[in-house]
A and B are shown apart, each in its own frame.
Chain A
């Protein structure tokens, strides 16, 4: 894709094979004050991954696992405690002033709630063009701006005449289209989609997923696609990361991870998600207990308190992401990964 924004440091096309975004050992804690003392909530405990050009990277995990903190850090809304982010060869956290502003164009966001994320007192056209009020140098004239607004609305399947209407005049699906047009206004390389369809009805959800898919084909934009809905992630993502309690426990190609989960948590998560073709599936794994508090980090494996395979080894040391012997790109952080065939699992499906 062509960039109106050029950082001037790196060829926008990038060297072949070089990931667009490289994240290494990212950690982030938040201070929590209670009863006169300060404790630290560990939201991200050493996150590493790559995002390639034009790909969709799915991020799944349950509430409180750190998905949103990771998204906010990539958007530079949070500063990490340690670790590095390299975006197209540049560490955005070292940038200042105009260079930083130019960088910010390249990563945009689509929010979950299309009702709360659009200002009810601005028209669709104002909302889509608002980013240009900060990034003033993109257009020379009002005429150019309004032509681009109409073009963007057309791109997301709205009519040019919609630019003068207010958000509340649109349905939920149409509002999400406005949110997507706003994210595209600065011609970004990466769009962080945080639960972009979970507030929408099923029939409308399909329309928005199709739109995101079309836009990627047309524009070559990369998505970091955060969702708790596993069937949606399985449909849209090229690769998937599974997060649990601030850490990535498994990552790999979508079909590899969904077809043959290595980490017990991924296996439990996937078996717990209801599916339409539930006839031919294996036993449902019902996890015991709840997510431990991120205020008091565990020794060893972060999943061991709920894991039916945990041994003394899991308390003694933290498992690193290790490649599957059969598939280099598929890694899991577990000493006792899921094997082939039947294994004893806790609490099977109850009888109908």
Chain B
């Protein structure tokens, strides 16, 4: 595909637990393009954050990549050695986390933390790096950057901390920016400010943004493509408009139906019965069978692979044609 900078191909992640090894991410594939936003959408525990952590090689020690490739500008990060990965972290690939207070170091000034990428990757002097840090703070909309550069993270509000994290992430103009629930902890008016900033930076630096979120409305507004995950598997993918207008997987359909819409105020919402499966007891066959209104014998025995249902769209369902 043209403009593809990040290609994730059959990525699997295993977690070792006291009760045995479980597969948290199962053969996930997608590709992200320059200047576009791709959303990884799913509910808690679906494996979306773990996919992001695997891409940036920040998996918890109990988890490991069990297979697949993560190709960034021609380099497979899974096969690459530590040194190569480190050299690419920052100039090529960066991540913004949800919780800005724990992601920032409380004992260093924000200036020191913003200057770090320039010191490490560009070898700038303290003074030069500090100047870059001030410019960067101004760029992400922090008032009075010259004085605030010497203050500590706890002296900033939630929205301002998220701006700082974004500043650190985009410092070296990466090709791909992963944003893991970047606005979940923020109020909506602040969320709007942050998403506005991310969009500007994406266009300005021709980055690819991978937005990891559980918020369907945010996906509808911000993303070009969406990858829907359930129990570690990609169940549907494609252009956001098409997927949301006409979902081809019963889970996507169920999620969309669960969103309150004002047209039906006071009426019962359609909800998905039950709960996602425990990773220790993922059923053989389709991962969604226990909650699916279309499930039948084939679904219990044979797991559907993602198949093309329209140009640029996939769905992992034996009966995707029946999803209405």
Contacts and interface: CB of A to CB of B under 8 A. Distances in A.
B128 interface: no
Interface stretch (B101-109, B144-152, B257-265): B257-265
B272 A203 contact: yes
Interface stretch (A117-125, A283-291, A335-343): A283-291
Q: Which of A203, A205, A213 has the most chain B CB within a 10 Å cutoff?
A: A203
B193 A287 contact: yes
Contacts of A347: 196
A59 to B, nearest CB: 14
B230 to A, nearest CB: 10
Q: Which of B157, B191, B260 has the most chain A CB within a 10 Å cutoff?
A: B260
Nearest to A289: B143
A350 B188 contact: no
Given A230-B188, A276-B256, A203 B271 contact: yes
B30 interface: no
Contacts of A352: 199, 224
A207 interface: yes
Interface string B144-167: 000000000000011110000000
B79 interface: no
B29 to A, nearest CB: 24
> Is the contact region of chain B dominated by helix, strand, or loop, or is it mixed?
helix
Given A235-B261, A274-B218, A290-B157, A203 B43 contact: yes
A204 B271 contact: yes
Interface in A249-296: 254-255, 258, 268-269, 271-278, 284, 286-287, 290
Interface in A165-220: 171, 173, 201-207, 209-210, 213-214
A231 interface: yes
Contacts of A276: 216-217, 220, 244, 256, 259, 261
Sorting the interface of chain B by its residue count into under 10, 10 to 19, 20 to 34 or 35 or more gives 35 or more
A62 B187 CA distance: 6
B268 A210 contact: yes
Contacts of A236: 260, 266
A234 interface: yes
Nearest to B216: A276
Contact of B188 (A209, A272, A349): A272
A202 B43 contact: yes
A232 interface: yes
Given A276-B220, A287-B189, A235 B265 contact: yes
A204 B187 contact: no
Nearest to B158: A63
B217 A274 contact: yes
B189 A205 contact: no
Nearest to B219: A274
A254 B189 CA distance: 20
Nearest to B187: A62
B275 A204 contact: yes
A284 B193 CA distance: 10
B221 to A, nearest CB: 5
Contact of A278 (B188, B190, B221): B221
Nearest to B36: A352
Contact of A234 (B187, B224, B265): B265
B206 to A, nearest CB: 14
Contacts of B224: 352
Sorting the interface of chain A by its residue count into under 10, 10 to 19, 20 to 34 or 35 or more gives 35 or more
Given A231-B259, A234-B265, A272 B217 contact: no
B269 interface: yes
Nearest to B278: A171
B271 A284 contact: no
Contact of B200 (A202, A205, A254, A350): A350
Interface in B232-285: 244, 254-262, 264-266, 268-273, 275
Given A171-B275, A287-B193, A203 B215 contact: no
A351 interface: yes
Nearest to B222: A274
B271 A278 contact: no
A203 to B, nearest CB: 4
A6 B14 CA distance: 58
A272 B192 contact: yes
A275 B271 CA distance: 19
Given A276-B220, A352-B224, A173 B275 contact: yes
Contacts of B188: 62, 228, 230, 269, 272-274
A211 B273 CA distance: 13
Contacts of B255: 202-203
Interface string B181-211: 0000001111111001001100100000000
Interface in A283-311: 284, 286-287, 290
Contact of A206 (B44, B199, B203, B258): B258
Interface of B: 43-44, 157-160, 187-193, 196, 199-200, 203, 214-218, 220-222, 224, 244, 254-262, 264-266, 268-273, 275
26 contacts: A62-B188, A202-B216, A202-B258, A202-B259, A203-B271, A203-B272, A204-B275, A206-B260, A213-B266, A234-B260, A235-B260, A235-B262, A272-B188, A272-B189, A274-B188, A274-B218, A274-B220, A276-B256, A277-B220, A278-B221, A286-B189, A286-B192, A290-B157, A290-B159, A349-B196, A350-B199
Given A231-B260, A351-B199, A352-B199, 20 more contacts: A63-B187, A171-B275, A202-B216, A202-B258, A203-B271, A204-B271, A206-B272, A207-B271, A207-B273, A213-B266, A234-B260, A235-B265, A235-B266, A236-B266, A268-B189, A269-B188, A274-B220, A277-B220, A286-B189, A351-B203
Interface of A: 62-63, 171, 173, 201-207, 209-210, 213-214, 228, 230-232, 234-236, 254-255, 258, 268-269, 271-278, 284, 286-287, 290, 347, 349-352
